[in-house]
């Protein structure tokens, strides 16, 4: 098994291709139920629903793609990612590879606290996400070995854990924007503040909320601005307060329409985001 410890390997590969946002087969969405799923705490969920997206045909070499915090498979199907990787002649040409992109536990259409259990949902961490992904692949899709696992941010953390927990299951790992260490420093501080923001929303009601707390939308926008975009890029986009306000207002409106952070309900007091050293 080969480890690519930085995104440099993928960046180098992309540099060899001049295609921009190439065409690839339409993604297919499916669901699979992992029965009697046991979490790291010992808690067992009789039916854990795992939603996933595939690109390509099952006859291709299997590849696992993992999304970041608060995202879903859709976040990996953008022109900047899928458009540069999955098309003809590109590094993960879907005519050759069978690409699976699962929604992690607590994300997208996979089982999550906001489906109904709220704070009674079992406590989960990255290791549980990886175990669910492996069960999907091995039991649900019949995949015995992967050519590659590639993940971004939280997906990168999961990629490292895949290498630790199941080192013989794949040929290579590409963990992007992540390190094989326990979460700490600013990364943990931002998540801690995200949780505190929601916990202190009166609508949260100690987890017994009846509607999505209003601060979820604000916390979602704050987290997105703080963790992505780049300081110089933001300076270019918003050199004045008026332009900066327009970006914030647009993102708040977008978060309200799409409710991009249902996972926040699971993060509060439940998700212990960490990667093992």
DSSP 123: P
Which sequence spans correspond to the domains of the chain?
2-176, 185-272
DSSP character string of 88-108: TTSTT-TTTEEEEEEPPTTST
Handedness of CA 118, 121, 124, 128 (dihedral sign): negative
CATH class given for the domain over 2-176: alpha beta
The pLDDT tens digits for 49-85 are 999 999 999 999 999 999 998 899 999 999 999 999 9
Q: CA 66, CA 84: separation in Å to the nearest integer?
A: 16
Cα–Cα distance measured from residue 188 to residue 148, given in angstroms and rounded to the nearest whole number: 28
Which pTM value belongs to this model?
A: 0.82
User: Confidence class of residue 223 from pLDDT cuts 50, 70 and 90?
Assistant: confident
């Amino acid at each position: 098994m080969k480890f690519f410890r930085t995104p440099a390997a993928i960046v180098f590969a992309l540099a060899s291709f001049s295609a921009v946002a190439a065409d690839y087969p339409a993604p297919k969405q499916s669901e699979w139920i992992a029965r009697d799923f046991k979490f790291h705490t010992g808690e067992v969920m009789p039916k854990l629903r795992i939603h996933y997206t595939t690109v390509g045909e099952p006859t291709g070499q299997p590849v696992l793609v993992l999304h970041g915090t608060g995202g879903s498979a859709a976040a990996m199907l953008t022109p900047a990612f899928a458009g540069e990787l999955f098309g003809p002649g590109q590094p993960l040409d879907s005519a050759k590879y069978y690409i699976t992109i699962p929604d992690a536990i607590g994300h997208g259409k996979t089982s999550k606290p906001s489906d109904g259990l709220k704070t009674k949902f079992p406590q989960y961490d990255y290791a549980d996400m990886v175990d669910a992904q492996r069960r999907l692949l091995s039991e649900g899709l019949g995949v015995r070995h992967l050519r590659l696992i590639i993940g971004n941010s939280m997906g990168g953390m999961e990629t490292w854990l895949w290498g630790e927990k199941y080192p013989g299951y794949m040929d290579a790992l590409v963990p992007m924007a992540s390190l094989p260490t326990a979460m700490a420093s600013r990364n943990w501080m931002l998540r801690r503040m995200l949780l505190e923001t929601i916990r202190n929303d009166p609508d949260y009601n100690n987890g017994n909320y009846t509607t999505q707390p209003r601060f979820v939308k604000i916390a979602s926008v704050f987290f997105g601005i703080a963790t992505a975009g780049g300081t110089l890029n933001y300076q270019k986009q918003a050199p004045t307060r008026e332009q900066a306000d327009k970006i914030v207002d647009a993102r708040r409106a977008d978060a309200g329409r799409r409710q991009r952070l249902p996972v926040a309900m699971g993060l509060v007091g439940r998700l212990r985001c960490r990667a093992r050293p």
